[in-house]
Structure 1
Amino acid sequence: MAQSERFSNLPEYAFPRLRNLLSGLEPGGDPVVMTIGEPRHALPDFVAPVMAQSIAEFGKYPPNEGAPELLQAISDWIGRRHAIAVPPAQISTLNGSREGLFNAALALCPQDKNGARPAILVPNPFYQVYAVAAAAVDADAVFVPATAATGHLPDFAGLAPELLDRTAIAYLCSPANPQGAVADVDYLEHLIELAERHDFLIFSDECYSEIYRDTPPPSALAVASRMGLIDRVVMFNSLSKRSNLPGLRSGFAAGGAENIRRIRLLRSYSGAPLPLPVQRVSTRAWSDDSHAEDNRRLYLAKYAIADRIFGNIEGYFAPQGGFFLWLPVPPAVGDGEAAAKKLWSEAGIQVLPGGYLARDTEAGNPGKNFIRVALVDDAQKTEAALNRLKNCLYQGG
């Protein structure tokens, strides 16, 4: 397939679609934007001083794979958080996790798998970069439902063995975007065993791993390491959610030595290294856990608010991690698009139709009758907005 044709069937990205959907509609109240996963909590207080102290380093070319101090800080954090040893040589810095989730497919997906066109497994609904990465490497993107029936996680084990035999990569997001489901150790062990049996990689998107209720979500890389199968998993994380630093564009990939060597090699030709002042701030952020714990407590308060407001709504799923609500749309309202238009025109609340985060399949679009709501404002604003949302969409139900 010609490169220019690989992306011809991709739908428009979610946020331009939303702008078009709401075009011409006036907000029916003070506007509240609850669409994008952009944290609005305060930055850590060390960001500005560390950036200022290293400002002259904008005049230097930075190391592409990451400064030694930053790689060590990430290695130390993985050790503290997940109780496994991942040396700096098995880590690569990234311009946020999205870059890595895309480029790792370029670096690690084979041209064919067992003599056939490779398949890349994608949860449905999903973070949209997964499907674009599959298109970029000319693989078949296979959308695997992640619905209430499957615990809001994809049932990869339920796929046909013939498909799994030509699978090169399976993407997994835990805590899941948009549903907030967490893959437990048992789920991860079975997935890693499946990957070993059918010889595919797991790209574990863990960018929401530090926002959770009670139990820290396990890492697929940690589970694989303890199973002696670390080469089966590449882990991705960033400071965007953990440290309220989405604009810093600082993340990392970690995994087996050969996988990270190939990711680093690709980045040495095509990747943009993080500026050294950004790396200095990142080093401090990964070295400090207290601000991340403070941040998590703010989200815990918002979980409690959401549970109180929506706990009696049929189909409500209390998120176990992340900061999104995946709310069912009442049949009388219609689908997610109808709900988004109603909420904006009647209540001034902007949400994302769930169908924009999923893909149509023979079984339908699993996000069509949902909306995604981002809990990114402070607790007071969030509570007021969620009450308005409930009164508009569920008629006080």
Structure 2
Amino acid sequence: MSAVSSRLPVFPWDRLEPYKATAAAHPDGIVDLSVGTPVDPVPALIRKALTDAADSPGYPTVWGTAALRDALTGWVERRLGATGVTHRNVLPVVGSKELVAWLPTQLGLGPGDRVAYPRLAYPTYEVGARLCGATPVVYDDPTELDPTGLRLLWLNSPSNPTGRVIGRAELTRIVKWARAHGVLVFSDECYLELGWEAEPVSVLDAGVCGGSYEGLVAVHSLSKRSNLAGYRAAFIAGDEAVLGELLTIRKHGGMMTPAPVQAATVAALGDDTHVAEQRARYAARRAALRSALEAYGFRIEHSEASLYLWATRDEPCWETVAQLAERGVLVAPGDFYGAAGERFVRVAFTATDERVEAAVKRLAG
């Protein structure tokens, strides 16, 4: 049997375990600012929708209920500035990470094909390319890539890990280039609701795409905006030809969002109040941590959006990780996201208010 795992890099988070143990030994316990998992309660209206749909003995459909598709199309038009969105332009997926990891395989990519993603990026873009045997390629500006054999271009705005936002003019330029060269664009916009010093723009915005979704797909998740990481609630929107092909494949693969989660997604997308409340929590935590980090000697770069601060003390990232672990604070080393991050750390502000306050005190001590 061929070991597919041999194509993949070492799972990065395993390397952090010794530092996690050091941080956990702190007398007041660990402050984990590494992974960025939501810690606040799931909003009550979403939990009610989930439990009300708990008696769902039959199989759900891959495409989702009509109510779910209505919720997806309505939100995409209302929030992303898209126009003329139909059910054929949306598709629920079982969490965005699953989609990212298996997309190149489902698109039929393989040896000889190229998959491009930012030089500093979520590691699963590379994993997806390697799983199907395609060649991963990094970029600083995607329009400077050789389009030969380039089958899939990943954009990520707001960026994980840096929090950088691609501006409207730049995004429009990239879309024009990709279409001119027949390159399929998938835009990972999972942090779009979390802009702080810049307003994130979707690739589906009518001013960016010209009202046509040809060659464009946006990826969205409810994990961060609605604290639903445990629900695996996400969706894609855009080119109906691409989504139609993926729907057919995913039907055969049984990639179905559970019926109660579909109902919860409808409730979540129909309510903006809980999103604003969660933004306010994150804004306060972000401000507190940013001030503490800067006072401790860090420089913050980008970080105008998302759930992270991209921070450096101009030293190797593992030295920074070790120093903070001694204070009981765990952060992610920047080289998890590419060699260009080797002197940075990614600091998540998803911990509770009490743990953020603890981190601030430890950095000041």
**TM-score (normalizing by structure 1):** 0.84
Q: C-alpha separation between the residues in 2 aligned to 1:21 and 1:215?
A: 33
Change (3 A) 1:315 1:109: farther
Stretch moving more, 26-35 or 366-375: 26-35
SS in 2 for 1:75: helix
Q: Deviation per CA, 1:158-206, whole angstroms, max 9, x where unpaired? A: 33xxx22221111111110011111111111111111012211111111
How many aligned residue pairs are there? 362
Across the aligned residues of Structure 1 and Structure 2, the Cα RMSD in angstroms comes to 2.3
1:350 corresponds in structure 2 to 330
2:125 pairs, out of 118, 121, 130, with 130
Structure 1 range deviating more: 260-269 or 128-137: 128-137
Q: CA deviation at 1:390?
A: 6.2
8 Å Cα contact 2:186/2:218 also seen in 1: yes
Paired AA for residue 302 in structure 1: R
> Which residue is equivalent to 2:312?
328
Query: Counterparts of 1:58-97 in structure 2 under 5 Å?
Result: 59-85=57-83, 86-97=85-96
Tell me the residue number matched to 1:49: 48
Residue from 137, 143, 153 that aligns with 1:170:
153
- In the alignment, structure 2 segments of 5+ residues that lack a partner are none
| Structure 2 partner of 1:220 | 203
Instruction: Name which of structure 1's ranges 257-266 and 19-28 shifts more when overlaid on structure 2.
Output: 19-28
For 2:288 and 2:20, how far apart are their aligned partners in 1? Answer: 28
SS in 2 for 1:366: helix
In structure 1, the partner of 2:246 is 263
Structure 1 position 375 matched with structure 2 position 349: yes
Query: Over residues 216-260 of structure 1, what are the superposed CA-to-partner deviations in whole Å (9 max), with x where a residue is unaligned?
Result: 311012257642441221111111001011000010011111000
What is the Cα deviation at residue 382 of structure 1?
1.5
Answer whether contact 1:119 1:141 (CA < 8 A) is retained. Answer: yes
Counterpart contact for 1:6–1:138, Cα < 8 Å: no
Query: Which of 303, 325, 328 is the aligned partner of 2:286?
Result: 303
In the alignment, the residues of structure 2 paired with residue 64 and residue 13 of structure 1 have an alpha-carbon distance, to the nearest angstrom, of: 29
Q: Report the Cα distance in structure 2 between the residues aligned to 1:224 and 1:63, rounded to whole angstroms.
A: 33
Between stretches 302-311 and 236-245, larger displacement belongs to 302-311
SS of the aligned residue for 1:142 comes to: strand
Is 1:252 matched up with 2:232? no
Shift of 1:47: 2.5
Query: Secondary structure of the equivalent of 2:72?
Result: helix
Q: Aligned to 1:178, what secondary structure does the other structure show? A: coil
Structure 1 289/223 Cα, relative in aligned 2: closer, same or farther at 3 Å? same
Do the aligned residues in 2 keep the contact of 1:224 with 1:233 (CA within 8 Å)? no
Name the SS for the 1:165 alignment partner: coil
* Kept after mapping to 2: 8 A contact 1:172/1:205: yes
Q: Which residue of 2 aligns with 1:231?
A: 214
Cα distance in structure 2, aligned partners of 1:225 and 1:256 = 14
Q: Quickly say closer, same or farther: Cα 1:61–1:49, change in 2 above 3 A.
A: same
Shift of 1:108: 2.5
The CA deviation at 1:24 is: 7.2
Distance 2:23 2:283 in 1: 34
Q: Tell me, in whole angstroms, the C-alpha distance in 1 between the residues paired with 2:207 and 2:100.
A: 19
Matching residue within 153, 164, 179 for 1:181: 164
Q: Deviations over 1:297-326 (max 9, x none)?
A: 222222322343344646422511111111
Out of 226, 231, 234, the position equivalent to 1:243 is 226
- In structure 2, the residue corresponding to 1:71 is in which secondary structure? helix
CA distance in structure 2 between the aligned counterparts of 1:321 and 1:199, rounded to whole angstroms: 30
Distance in 1 of aligned mates of 2:361 and 2:144: 39
The aligned amino acid for 1:19 is E
Determine helix, strand or coil for the equivalent of 1:322. Answer: coil
Deviation of 1:10 (Å): 2.4
Distance (whole Å) between structure 2 residues aligned to residue 290 and residue 216 of structure 1: 19
1:347, 1:388 within 8 Å by CA — same for their partners in 2? yes
User: Which residue of 2 is the match for residue 151 of structure 1?
Assistant: none
2:267 match: 284
- CA displacement at 1:295 relative to structure 2: 1.1
**Distance of aligned partners of 1:299 and 1:50 in 2 relative to their CA distance in 1, 3 Å threshold:** same
- Summarize the Cα distance change of 1:101–1:390 in structure 2 as closer, same or farther, 3 Å threshold: farther
Supply the AA of the counterpart residue of 1:119. Answer: R
1:175-214 to 2 correspondences below 5 Å: 175-213=158-196
> How many Å apart are 1:279 and its aligned residue?
0.8
